[in-house]
Every structure is written in C-alpha cells, then in structure tokens.
A and B are shown apart, each in its own frame.
Chain A
Amino acid sequence: MARAAVSGGLNRRLAWHAARLAEVVEETPSARTLVFDVPDWPGHLPGQHVDVRLTAEDGYSTERSYSIATPADGTRVALTVQRVDDGEVSPYLTETLSPGDVIELRGPVGGWFVWRSADPAPVLLIAGGSGIVPLMAMIRARREAGSRALFRLIYSVRTPEDRFYADELRTRARDDMGLDVGYVYTRQAPEGWPTAPRRLSVADVNNGGWPPDFQPACFVCGPTAFVETVADILVALGHDPRRVKTERFGPTGS
C-alpha cells in the first residue's frame, strides 16, 4: 500500500499510538536519539514528523512535534531531541525517559516538507541547529533508495560539540556519491577552521548551494529567525520561492 504511506495513512483516522522506547543514542551532551517501537506504524516519508503527547498523573497533558530522523524501517521510529533548558517536554525526553517506557505518539504527519526519492532534481539542504533532523532523514533515505539526485548540505551549528550525526556525516560525505557536506560555526569553530565563528551569510548559501538555474529543491529547517533569513537569501539569489520549502521550530533551539 505505497499510496497509504505517501498520504500518511489515507482513510485512516489519525490516532494516538503507544510507542515504547527501544533504544537511546547519545548525539551531543544535550541531545539524544530516541528509537521507539510502534506496532502498526504505517511507514513514513523523509521530512515527516510526529506529535508526541505526554500525560502527567494528574491528567495534565501536553504535545510537541518532533521530526523523524530516519527513513521508514518497519515499526521503528527514531526522533532526535535537543534539550531546551526551560522546556516542558524535552528535558523529560532527553533525561528521564528510559528504554521500556511508553509515551503516546501520533503520525506520520506533514506532506509538504518531504523529499521523494523518485525526484531527480538536485537538492539543497540548509539546517540550523537541531533543524538537521528531518534533513538527515532525507540524506539517509537517498542512499537507501539508491537515488542519484545530487545533495548539498549546509549545516549551521554553534560549536563542533553541537553537531548531530557528526561521524556519520563524515563517512557519508566520503562514501555517498554526490553528497556534499559543509559547516558554518556560529559561536566556536574547530581548531584550524579557515574562518572565525559567524552567522550563515549570503556567500555561504551562494558558494555551498546550487545555482538557481539548476532549479534545485531547497529544504530549510531550524529556528524561526534562521529559517526566515535563509529563505530570504535563497529568494534574493534567484531561487523560485515555490522550490524553497521551510520548517520553523519557533524561537527556541540553537
């Protein structure tokens, strides 16, 4: 039922699923990947997200959206969560939740900010902080699907320690033919980095991206202010606004 997966479960009322934490991977000192086992998971597309609901013993409940970090893999759903210090949900997910614990999860949802592996167009991915998560799902799905679409990633992070998936991206930049990975450091750069820490600039997008003539599919994900800036840069450089897809996390994040 490929179609059902494409539409996120067509003709099925969106329901909350019990999701059991199966595995935890530490990504940075303040972020970890939570791999859940979700029976009856219908599959998903790279870029889609889930809503997570936590309910306290007194009945108070709260919801947050998290992007899925990996391509569809049976009943497994992986989320990478960055701890927000004054957050209500992320400290619990990153510090308290343990393998075997069950939370509620709804999805997959979102059909606009997705990459389809049959699309041969070149792709430009621009991530700010934890905005890398849905873009990483696209990078992983590309190799898995044997896609030859050319991918370029520009990843803006505060410091080298804040990079998610650093080892995997280094390996993929070497082994995944047609994938380029570039970093911009905003607070502290690695030893010997050619430039001082600074914000992502027009030159970074111009040099690290694709010419607008190539009509690339652009995906930009990160904190709201970052996404607004990058989307404006892409359109100013001549990219068709309809080819620039954005996902904003709000004011928090890096």
Chain B
Amino acid sequence: MDLFSDEYTDGNALAGPLRELFTVDMTSAVGRCVSCGGEGPVAGMKVYAQAPGLVARCPSCQEVLMRLVRGPSDAWLDLRGTMSLRIPMPPE
C-alpha cells in the first residue's frame, strides 16, 4: 500500500462508527501517537477504509493509531498505537 497516495479520508469518517461505541463525539478528542509523540484531533487522522474495517494512521509519522472492525455481534477497537485520548466533556 502506498502510504502517500490520496486513497484515504480522515478521522471525520470515524464519527459515526465511534459514536456507536461512545456517548460523546470522539472526532474532537486529541490523541497522542505512541510512535512519534505527535498530538492532534481524531478528526485529523488519516483513515484508510479499504481494509476490512477502518485503519487510522498518524498524519505525522504514518504509524497505525487505531483500528476499528465492526462485526455482526462485536466491535473490535485496537488502540495500541495511541498513547492517550483527551476527550472534551460537558461540564458536570
């Protein structure tokens, strides 16, 4: 796979699939990359949808940050490339 082609979209496309799992919008969450330490909103991740499921890569170093596969009875969320997610929350 050519990582530098434009065969990708971005983390805005994760809004629906992640909103199925979380009660708040996750595209505004700020993630930190395990590989390079880069920080940015989930919306800014590079998302490849051609794989089985969705693969999100770091826009700085291209490492895999997140993988999400939705099966008929389970969702698999692999976050091994993400050190942390800072999630904006309503005040209460």
Contact = CB atoms under 8 A, between A and B. Distances in A.
Interface of A: 3, 7-8, 10-11, 13-14, 49-51, 63, 65, 106-107, 109-113, 223-225, 227-228, 245-251
Interface of B: 5-10, 12-13, 15-16, 19-20, 23-25, 27-28, 41-44, 49, 88, 90
Contacts, number: 80
A11 B12 contact: no
Nearest to B27: A112
Contact of B23 (A10, A227, A248): A10
Given A224-B10, A245-B43, 10 more contacts: A7-B90, A8-B19, A107-B16, A109-B19, A110-B12, A113-B12, A227-B10, A246-B10, A246-B44, A249-B9
Nearest to B7: A251
User: Dominant SS at the A interface?
Assistant: mixed
A112 B12 contact: yes
Nearest to B43: A112
25 contacts: A3-B90, A7-B24, A7-B90, A8-B19, A11-B23, A14-B19, A14-B20, A63-B16, A107-B16, A109-B15, A110-B15, A110-B25, A110-B43, A111-B15, A111-B88, A112-B27, A112-B43, A113-B43, A224-B9, A225-B6, A227-B10, A245-B43, A247-B10, A247-B43, A250-B6
